[in-house]
């Protein structure tokens, strides 16, 4: 059985392999792509359905147990949507 982690967006418990790890580097939330950075980590599904609640409901602050700075470009550029 692989390690289980809770997504800070949807709050579902999933296999660690299905989630992306984030850590604090100098108080700023940073993606830990290689899962090797030291310190407390939080886990999040890599999709918009989990990102929005994590940001809107304070999932990062709750997971890190302190106020945090979340950079606007944390998840990369938003896809360009065609005009209606």
Contact (Cβ atoms closer than 8 angstroms) between residue 60 and residue 54:
yes
Give which of 73, 23, 67 is closest to 43, Cα–Cα. Answer: 23
Q: What is the pLDDT of residue 73?
A: 87
**How far are the Cα atoms of 19, 20, 30, 40, 50 from residue 10, in angstroms, in the given order?**
11, 13, 19, 19, 6
Query: What is the per-residue pLDDT across 26-54, written as a single tens digit (0 to 9) for each?
Result: 999 999 999 999 999 999 999 999 999 99
**At residue 67, does pLDDT exceed 70?**
yes
Domain ranges of the chain: 4-64
Structural fold of domain 4-64: Hypothetical Cytosolic Protein; Chain: A; (3.30.1230)
22 pLDDT tier (thresholds 50, 70, 90): very high
- How many other CB atoms are found less than 10 A from the CB of residue 44? 26
Supply φ then ψ for residue 48, to 5 degrees.
Answer: -65, -30
pLDDT bracket for residue 84 (50, 70, 90): very low
Q: What is the pLDDT of residue 77?
A: 64
């Amino acid at each position: 059985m692989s390690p289980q982690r809770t997504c800070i967006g949807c709050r579902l418990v999933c296999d660690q392999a299905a989630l992306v790890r984030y850590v604090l580097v100098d108080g700023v939330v940073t993606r830990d792509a290689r899962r090797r950075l030291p310190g407390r980590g939080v886990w999040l599904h890599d999709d918009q359905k989990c990102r929005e609640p994590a940001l809107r409901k304070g999932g990062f602050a709750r997971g890190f147990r302190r106020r945090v700075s979340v950079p606007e470009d944390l998840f990369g550029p938003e896809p360009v949507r065609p005009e209606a």
